[in-house]
Structure 1
Amino acid sequence: MKKIHLLTPFCALLIGLSGCEKGFDQLNVNPTAATALNPVFTFNNAIINTSFPASILIFEEPIVQQMFSPNSGIIAGGNYNIDNRGSAGANAALWQRYYRDVIRYLVDGLDKTKSDASRSNLYNMMRIWKAYAFMVLTDTYGDVPYTEAGMGFLGSNITPKYDAQEAIYTDILKELTEATAALDATKPTEAGEVMYSGNIDRWKRLGNSLLLRAGMRLSKVNPTLAQSTVQKAVAGGLMQSNADNCAVRNNANYQNSVGTTLNATEAANYYLTGAFVDYLKSTEDPRLASIAVRYVGARSGVEQTAARANRTAAVQIGMPLGYDNGSIPARASADGLASFYDYSQLDRTRLGRFDVPCYLLTYAQTQLLLAEAAQRGWTTGNAADYYNAGVTAHMQQLGDYDATSLVSAANITAYLQKNPYVAARGLEQINTQYWVASLLNGPELFANFRRSGYPTLKPNPYPGKEIKGNFINRLSYPDAEISVNQANLNTVVSRQGPDNLDTRVWWDKQ
């Protein structure tokens, strides 16, 4: 009888457990958790992360001689014409940000929307953005993973092949053309995306303006294709004003990496170059007063105080290239300065703030590219008019950083009268203005300088350079590729050339 009494409650327990199994699989399910992620959120994440890393201060800005640091160590690069590899190498920063935080989100979003007719506008917006991101990557490094990129999660491919830059550009032109044409305001317009809040007209103008940039990039390597691409972009409709500017709008939560760096550890280490300041002063450019600050008499970073800040154009003195932290003090003394902390800097309370926009493609740049296209006879219109519109747009754009940086209408008019467009010097004038108008857009500055050959800059005279030529031609691949994707890296090196700073990308034809 005792055994019967013991088994009875045990059997009852089993019966109870059997009954509970009907809901057992839901015990650890959060009823309020999302079961699927709206792809517009991953798209927004990609857009925000397209903002440039602070490494543009180490390579692109010094290469084009707008801003640099005389210091060595982890911030050595374009200032000395040497590479900067290793686990924290500045050569890898753009690669890592774009592949990890832009491309992979876009590839996932495209996969989720390609067969959804109700999300066709989102799908084509992402195609345009992907084309932009890959232009930045391939212009910076040359041949890069493209067709197999971002497939680590979707296809378990963690060793993507490298595609030739010519093939990448062929597909970018196709993607921009098709995606821009496919945008349709009669379909759901995706108001939740953070760039244009679903404004289809502005997205179309972005797509065509990016197509114009891509076409002009081919001006040396394939002028015929460049011309036909430019004409297609113009016919489609380009940016119409600064309201169309493509920029990542930063704030306290999503900070500008360059601004954060310039207001933190490197606040006293970066300076405007003599080449940049001297050019702006020589043309009496009112933008110098919007861009620069000099802490007059400062003998240390601590002495770079508001009381010493002088933003008057006449007192600005750019730091000359060719010096390091050991040799620059003597040069500063020879220039009549208290120390090298007395040279002019990008104003970190205005253009260099942590919350300023990161401009990716602008109306000013678009008008200047149109000026070049008109000067080459590739499009209709007057090159001088486009030139004037581009210069004006950038001077007005400065007010978007800070109200005190806005150039007045009177000063814009006076500048254009003093510096009129001269057709005989058209390409030089246009692309030198493009240089100024692309300040802080490191990848585009670097790309257009190689493409156009302007502005005319003297080579950085710093001794001990690692390059054979006068200027860096591309950035090297991350060291991580050697350990995780070496076979494909070896293939691209055999095709493109040595993985160093001298090898030219495909469109940079000598």
Structure 2
Amino acid sequence: MKKTTIYISLVSLLVSLSGCEKGFDQLNVNPTAATALNPVFTFNNAIINTSFPASILIFEEPIVQQMFSPNSGILAGGNYNIDNRGSSGANAQLWQRYYRDNMRYLVDGLAKTKTDASRANLYNMLRIWKAYVAMVLTDTYGDVPYSEAGLGYLGGNVTPKYDAQESIYTDILKELPEAAAALDASKPTEAGEIMYGGDISKWKKLAYSVLLRAGMRLSKVNPALAQSTVQKAVAGGVMQSNADNCVVRNNANYQNSVGTTLNATEAANYYLTGFFVNYLKSTADPRLSSIAVRYVGAKSGPEQTAARAVRTPDVQIGMPLGFDNGTIPARATADGLASFYDYSQLDRTRMGKFDAPCYLVTYAQTQLLLAEAAQRGWTTGNVADFYNAGITAHMKQLGDYDATSLVSDANVSAYLQSNPYVAAKGLELINTQYWIASFLNGPEVFANFRRSGFPVLTPNPYPGKEIKGNFINRLSYPDSEQSVNQAKRQEAVTRQGADNLDTRVWWDKQ
């Protein structure tokens, strides 16, 4: 009798449990959780993460002799002409941000929008951004994963091949004009994207301005293709004013990596170079007062106070290259300074602040590239007009960092009159101005210096360099690639050349 009672109870319990299973899966699903992610959100994430990493202070800026740190250790790189490898090395930071993160976001967004007619504009915006990201990557490292990049989740390919840079450029030159032509203001314009808020005309101008940049990059390796690409970009319509600038607007939530670094642990460690400061002073360039600050008499980092800050150009003294943290104190004394903390720095309360905008492609750069193209006979227009417009645009662009950084109209005019375009020195003048206009755009200023050979820089005299030549030609692949994609990386090295700082990328023809 007791057994029967127990059996009946168990059966009743099982029936009850079986009834509870109905709708069990629904009960354990959060009704407010997103089941699909709008691709415009991942696109915005890619845009934000295109802001340059702080590693440009370790490699690109020192290579082109605008900023550097005399310190060794994790800050060593372009200042000593040595590599900085490792999973968290400076050579890896751009790779991680642009390849590991951004390329993945973009490939995923492209897959989600390719066959969706209602997202056609977003699809083509993603194509444009992917072309830009790929261009920065390949210009920095050479051969990189491209055709198979970002397919680890979508296709299970976790060891993508490295595409030759020439083939990457071939696709970039195809993608940019195709995507620009396919943009259609009569279709949903994706107001939620944070770069241009869905403004189709600005996206078109960005695409053709990047195409112009890509075309000029080929000036040494394939002048005929460079010319035809420039002409296609001009016909399509490039940026027409600073309102068209492609810029990441950082804020308290998405901070500028360079600004964050300069306002934290490395505040007293980075300085403007003597060459950069002296060049701006030699031409009475009003931009120096927008860029530089000197904490006069500072004997330590803590003494770099607002009370000591002087921003007038004549007081600025850049730090000379060729010294380290052991030898720079004596040089500072020889220069009549209280210490090396007394040299000029990027003003971290304006251009170097934590929420400073990060400029990727600008009207100023575009006008200067047009000036060079016009001088080469690749496009029509007055070279001097393009040249003056580029300089003016950059001087006005500085006001975007801070109202006190804006160069006045009177100072712009005075500078142009004192530093006119001279055809006999055209290429040097144009590309030296490009060097100034691309300050803090590390990948671009590094790439254009290699392409053009300007400005004319004296090699960094620091002893014990690892490079065989005078300047670093590319960044090495991150060490992590040797463990996660060794075979494909080795194919690239065999084809391109040794994985070191001396090997030239495809378009950097000697």
Q: Same fold (TM over 0.5)?
A: yes
Alignment of 1:273-288 (within 5 A): 273-288=273-288
Q: Secondary structure at the match of 1:345?
A: strand
> What residue is the counterpart of 2:81 in the other structure?
81
Deviation readout 1:254-287 (Å, 9 max, x if unpaired): 0000000000011000000010000000000000
> What residue is the counterpart of 1:104 in the other structure?
104
Q: Distance in 2 between matches of 1:333 and 1:12?
A: 92
Q: Secondary structure at the match of 1:29?
A: coil
> What residue is the counterpart of 2:158 in the other structure?
158
Q: Which moved more, 1:215-224 or 1:79-88?
A: 79-88
**Are the aligned partners of 1:350 and 1:401 in contact in 2 as well (CA < 8 Å)?**
yes
Instruction: Work out the number of aligned pairs and report it.
Output: 510
Q: Which moved more, 1:75-84 or 1:20-29?
A: 20-29
Query: 1:4 Cα shift?
Result: 3.0
> What residue is the counterpart of 1:256 in the other structure?
256
Q: Is 1:343 equivalent to 2:343 in the alignment? A: yes
Alignment of 1:27-176 (within 5 A): 27-176=27-176
Query: 1:177 Cα shift?
Result: 1.2
> What residue is the counterpart of 2:415 in the other structure?
415
> What residue is the counterpart of 1:426 in the other structure?
426
Q: Secondary structure at the match of 2:384?
A: helix
> What residue is the counterpart of 1:297 in the other structure?
297
Q: Is 1:7 equivalent to 2:7 in the alignment? A: yes
Q: Distance in 1 between matches of 2:282 and 2:117?
A: 56
Query: 1:453 Cα shift?
Result: 0.4
Q: Distance in 2 between matches of 1:95 and 1:64?
A: 20
Q: Distance in 1 between matches of 2:493 and 2:87?
A: 21
> What residue is the counterpart of 2:465 in the other structure?
465
Q: Secondary structure at the match of 2:106?
A: helix
**Are the aligned partners of 1:246 and 1:361 in contact in 2 as well (CA < 8 Å)?**
yes
Amino acid aligned to 1:474: R
Query: 1:156 Cα shift?
Result: 1.3
Q: Distance in 2 between matches of 1:289 and 1:426?
A: 26
**Are the aligned partners of 1:45 and 1:101 in contact in 2 as well (CA < 8 Å)?**
no
Amino acid aligned to 1:403: A
Q: Distance in 2 between matches of 1:268 and 1:57?
A: 13
Query: 1:19 Cα shift?
Result: 2.3
Query: 1:133 Cα shift?
Result: 0.4
Q: Secondary structure at the match of 1:477?
A: coil
Deviation readout 1:367-402 (Å, 9 max, x if unpaired): 000000001110011010000000000000000000
Q: CA RMSD in A?
A: 0.8
Q: Structure 1 vs Structure 2: percent identity of aligned residues?
A: 84
Q: Distance in 2 between matches of 1:158 and 1:2?
A: 63
Q: Distance in 2 between matches of 1:328 and 1:3?
A: 93
Query: 1:24 Cα shift?
Result: 1.6
Q: Distance in 2 between matches of 1:459 and 1:423?
A: 27
Q: Secondary structure at the match of 1:32?
A: coil
Q: Distance in 2 between matches of 1:268 and 1:146?
A: 39
Q: Distance in 2 between matches of 1:6 and 1:81?
A: 83
> What residue is the counterpart of 1:26 in the other structure?
26
Query: 1:483 Cα shift?
Result: 1.1
Q: Distance in 1 between matches of 2:4 and 2:498?
A: 84
Deviation readout 1:80-121 (Å, 9 max, x if unpaired): 001111232111110011122210000111011001010000
Alignment of 1:446-485 (within 5 A): 446-485=446-485
Query: 1:10 Cα shift?
Result: 2.4
**Are the aligned partners of 1:246 and 1:360 in contact in 2 as well (CA < 8 Å)?**
yes
Q: Distance in 2 between matches of 1:352 and 1:25?
A: 52
TM-score, with length taken from structure 2: 0.99
Q: Secondary structure at the match of 2:293?
A: strand
**Are the aligned partners of 1:91 and 1:476 in contact in 2 as well (CA < 8 Å)?**
yes
Q: Secondary structure at the match of 2:294?
A: strand
Q: 5+ unaligned residues in a row in structure 2: which ranges? A: none
Q: Distance in 2 between matches of 1:330 and 1:14?
A: 86
Q: 5+ unaligned residues in a row in structure 1: which ranges? A: none
Q: Distance in 1 between matches of 2:32 and 2:340?
A: 58
Q: Which moved more, 1:116-125 or 1:486-495?
A: 486-495
Q: Secondary structure at the match of 2:329?
A: helix
Query: 1:7 Cα shift?
Result: 2.6
Amino acid aligned to 1:252: A
Deviation readout 1:404-451 (Å, 9 max, x if unpaired): 000000000000000001111111000000000000000000000000
Q: Distance in 1 between matches of 2:156 and 2:429?
A: 49
Alignment of 1:299-448 (within 5 A): 299-448=299-448
Q: Distance in 2 between matches of 1:253 and 1:164?
A: 37
TM-score, with length taken from structure 1: 0.99
Amino acid aligned to 2:187: K
Q: Is 1:216 equivalent to 2:203 in the alignment? A: no
Q: Distance in 2 between matches of 1:210 and 1:6?
A: 79
Q: Distance in 2 between matches of 1:332 and 1:447?
A: 32
Q: Secondary structure at the match of 1:277?
A: helix
> What residue is the counterpart of 2:205 in the other structure?
205
Amino acid aligned to 2:205: R
> What residue is the counterpart of 2:236 in the other structure?
236
**Are the aligned partners of 1:360 and 1:441 in contact in 2 as well (CA < 8 Å)?**
yes
Query: 1:491 Cα shift?
Result: 1.0
Q: Secondary structure at the match of 1:370?
A: helix
Q: Distance in 2 between matches of 1:312 and 1:374?
A: 36
